[in-house]
Structure 1
């Protein structure tokens, strides 16, 4: 429903606060108890091998639990939780659902659990030659309740409700959304929602995340819930809370243009908490050297002989998740001496430059794009979709660039150790009691 109100509630008790948020937004008004309802959380990835801080990355289980309980109390019985996390980087969806406590929701309320990556996808024609393969379960739902996280995104600035629906695509279509030109990220994924019956968006703002969307960003406790039957208005408010006017977010601009919507927050009714009271800028991007030779931290350490070209929106999510670990591994190889004149390129549009003795091609797309690049003196292809970190270490070792995988393991432990329960970070928020 266009221009439906947006509600925002400060969380005290999650169940009570979500009830209030839904009441203010009339969030259940568009649902029928006979509807087949799909609940779409945000599960980017999960890891059972190394410490994985889910704060601000993954939808909290306490919010999912409260939502399912409320729906059950209102007579809704045909409920499904479905997600398509990053294939190849996440364990089997069933194992992740077990870890998040969703099996208890299955036992208590009969909720079906679906891993889109294990199910059927249907080719959908959006017109103008734009086609995507969407999870059949999402298309067949009568209504979708979208439950994203309140976080930033290093390619899209913010990752909220509209962006969260990218999890309904198969791997090939997710990659297609990270294209160039008319297929650029901010132009592609905002169209996904047009073929999906999204009836309600609930932004889980118990935590928020800077430099998202993965665990390498830094999370903060926020304790907000934002809900609306208008998905665009909900994202508009979420972006404002993160400190981003809609006019500064490309995919919101593109959505507004194609749907005739206003980008002015003042044109939408917000009930409950005031946006101004909770608005705080959360940085979305990583600092890079002015000469595009690597992260600012590399420059401060005095790392030379190495030019890592900054990622762009054509870098698919799989490679994006592996990108920061790649930086940690390269950093571990620095022993005070310059690197042997190396350039690192990635994504679908970065072309290797002249004057480098070695060119690391990070990921399948960069390998294909630069296959016949005459500028390359010696190519070091790191194949994979996305590349495997162990293989990255192995390939570079043959070039006498010795990365220390243990340094990455230590980094992962560091990421996890940043969060203390005494400061409001509680892993129990990803469990169901």
Structure 2
């Protein structure tokens, strides 16, 4: 039997339009009662990368969350909404407010769960570099999880979707810290994402991607907003990411996270064994979707990374004319290579120590982090 992924057209974030589309996407998979039982507490995990307005397509839209809250209540369960925003250094309340989650929670009468204050548990993992990771108790011990990612590109992993959304279950700045021991190779990070997903796999009931507005180019926060008018859902997060990247024109097995998930048999990664139910892909304008440049991490064998990395590299640089000096990049850098020594005390990257994790680029609230590549890198990846 094929793994089912539902694909539904949704042209706006108008409340009734979204409710109808979300219901249809779930009904195509068997209906909400196939995933949620009466009396359960179900954690809804949106992508709340930073304190940004929904129309910027950086975070999961609040109307998507509202629709799923209502479906969970219809099934007789209690929904909770939680995340650990990477940009919550100034306080998670600001993120709840800006992303529209606070308003939705108040209107729908649901609890917002702060993963930082919910506590964490250390879990052993099977990874070539890390032996364990800390994960939020709110996610680990929920009766079930409904995963609500945003359709976006990612400068390091190329694509961020259902599986990578679970990286938000790592509390606080530990997310940046786990980049520190991992060399700049996407397989190492891909296997980390795989291990995190496997910790939650048995609790994940449903995954639904918000692709009404998506992001292409240099995501996940500085890319270009693209109207895509699509919702995708599946019980299998891996199949959902496989189908989504395929619809966007990529070969899923070339996305290194999907490659790692396949090696660990974490879910379905073969399109021939996935059924797309609902609307036809031809009804969507998906041509020429822009992925970020796939730079040297994807091409260089791990043993040669340190050697060739001297000649083929991509590093962040602070654009001081845009920088607001919020210090987010300084606080989020896992190797403390961003110092407040630029003009006017603004941050400056010390490139010799940079590990190219791009946490600063991902979390900068002002889009003030540009990416600079070596001449050889530009030739290799044809930027």
**Bin for the TM-score computed over the shorter chain:** 0.7 to 0.9
CA distance in 2 between partners of 1:104 and 1:364 (Å)? 33
Q: How has the CA–CA distance of structure 1 residues 218 and 388 changed in structure 2, closer, same or farther, with 3 Å as cutoff?
A: farther
What corresponds to 2:102 in structure 1? 103
Residue pair 2:157, 2:186 contacting (<8 A) in 1 also: no
Q: Which secondary structure does the structure 2 equivalent of 1:59 belong to?
A: coil
Q: How has the CA–CA distance of structure 1 residues 389 and 113 changed in structure 2, closer, same or farther, with 3 Å as cutoff?
A: farther
Residue pair 2:50, 2:88 contacting (<8 A) in 1 also: no
What corresponds to 1:142 in structure 2? 143
Answering whether residue 177 of structure 2 is matched by residue 175 of structure 1, we say: yes
CA deviation digits over 1:197-223, x for unaligned, max 9? 111000000111112434321011111
Q: Which secondary structure does the structure 2 equivalent of 1:184 belong to?
A: helix
CA deviation digits over 1:78-114, x for unaligned, max 9? 211001111555x422232233333344334431101
Answering whether residue 44 of structure 2 is matched by residue 39 of structure 1, we say: yes
Which ranges of structure 2 fall in alignment gaps of 5 or more residues?
Answer: 12-16, 296-310, 324-328, 351-363, 369-383
Q: How has the CA–CA distance of structure 1 residues 183 and 134 changed in structure 2, closer, same or farther, with 3 Å as cutoff?
A: farther
Q: Report how far residue 156 of structure 1 moved.
A: 0.7
What corresponds to 2:231 in structure 1? 225
CA distance in 1 between partners of 2:232 and 2:344 (Å)? 41
What corresponds to 2:242 in structure 1? 236
CA distance in 2 between partners of 1:18 and 1:201 (Å)? 11
1:337-352 paired onto structure 2 within 5 Å: none
Q: How has the CA–CA distance of structure 1 residues 388 and 222 changed in structure 2, closer, same or farther, with 3 Å as cutoff?
A: farther
Q: Report how far residue 263 of structure 1 moved.
A: 3.2
Q: Which secondary structure does the structure 2 equivalent of 1:25 belong to?
A: coil
Residue pair 1:205, 1:225 contacting (<8 A) in 2 also: yes
1:19 to 19, 23, 30: 23
Residue pair 2:51, 2:87 contacting (<8 A) in 1 also: no
1:365 to 331, 335, 344: 335
Q: Compare 79-88 and 98-107 and name the one that shifted more.
A: 98-107
What corresponds to 1:194 in structure 2? 198
Answering whether residue 66 of structure 2 is matched by residue 65 of structure 1, we say: yes
Q: Which secondary structure does the structure 2 equivalent of 1:113 belong to?
A: strand
Q: How has the CA–CA distance of structure 1 residues 21 and 366 changed in structure 2, closer, same or farther, with 3 Å as cutoff?
A: same
Q: How has the CA–CA distance of structure 1 residues 32 and 173 changed in structure 2, closer, same or farther, with 3 Å as cutoff?
A: same
Q: Give RMSD over aligned pairs.
A: 3.5
Answering whether residue 171 of structure 2 is matched by residue 166 of structure 1, we say: no
1:337-416 paired onto structure 2 within 5 Å: 363=333, 365=335, 367=337, 382-383=338-339, 391-392=345-346
Q: How has the CA–CA distance of structure 1 residues 16 and 127 changed in structure 2, closer, same or farther, with 3 Å as cutoff?
A: same
1:30 to 10, 32, 35: 35
1:280 to 259, 270, 287: 287
CA distance in 1 between partners of 2:349 and 2:272 (Å)? 54
Which ranges of structure 1 fall in alignment gaps of 5 or more residues?
Answer: 289-306, 312-322, 333-346, 348-361, 368-381, 397-408, 414-433
Answering whether residue 251 of structure 2 is matched by residue 245 of structure 1, we say: yes
| Higher radius of gyration, 1 or 2 | 1
Q: Report how far residue 27 of structure 1 moved.
A: 5.1
CA distance in 1 between partners of 2:339 and 2:288 (Å)? 37
CA distance in 1 between partners of 2:222 and 2:205 (Å)? 32
Residue pair 2:186, 2:256 contacting (<8 A) in 1 also: no
Q: How many residues align?
A: 319
Q: How has the CA–CA distance of structure 1 residues 390 and 250 changed in structure 2, closer, same or farther, with 3 Å as cutoff?
A: farther
What corresponds to 1:329 in structure 2? 320
TM-score, scaled relative to structure 1: 0.65
TM-score, scaled relative to structure 2: 0.73
Q: Which secondary structure does the structure 2 equivalent of 1:259 belong to?
A: coil
Q: How has the CA–CA distance of structure 1 residues 388 and 169 changed in structure 2, closer, same or farther, with 3 Å as cutoff?
A: farther
